[in-house]
Amino acid sequence: MDIRVAAHSVYRTQYHIVWVTKYRHRALNPAKFRQSAEHWIKDATEHILGVELVELNVQPEHVHMVIIIPPKYAVAKVVEIIKSRSAKQIRKEIEWLDKLYYDTPSLWTVGYFVSSIGLDEEMIKKYVKYQQKQDSGQAKLEF
């Protein structure tokens, strides 16, 4: 379990994020295009301070990533930055995408899927319940 420490917080905010290509086109079908996309997604992620890419899998029509995002950033903003920066670079490198997506400057759809990857739910419930028992036994202060 990786716990991160910042100036005013301790956190473990890890997310599974998925997004697809515009119109679900298999735009990244040859393996060399997927490698290019992987490179530019990693590059875009590295430019966001404190964000850590744990795992990345680029498929012909969608991307899966596991990423750690500090609590000071909104997940939506981080995804927006990664998608916009990577799309810009990928479209520069893979010129035929201009023909495929002639009507739009984007490569990715607007939406995405996100799910937090947390600790075991039952373990958390037991911990919270145990803390209540511990707190109820504290001595009362008298003034």
Domain boundaries, the chain: 4-136
Dmax over CA atoms of the chain, in Å, equals: 78
pLDDT at 65 over 90: yes
**Mean pLDDT taken over the chain:** 87
Q: What are phi and psi of 19, to 5 degrees?
A: -140, 160
- The per-residue pLDDT for range 69-120, each reduced to its tens digit, is 999 999 999 999 999 999 999 999 988 888 888 888 889 999 999 999 877 7
Angle (nearest 5°) at CA 122 between 120 and 127: 95
Q: Please provide the CATH number assigned to the domain covering 4-136.
A: 3.30.70.1290
Strands lying side by side in the sheet with 14-20: 52-58, 62-68, 14-20, 113-117
**pLDDT range class, residue 6, cuts 50, 70, 90:** confident
pLDDT at 138 over 90: no
Whether the Cβ atoms of residue 85 and residue 92 lie closer than 8 Å to each other? no
Instruction: Look at 43 and 2; give whichever has higher pLDDT.
Output: 43
pTM of the entire predicted model: 0.82
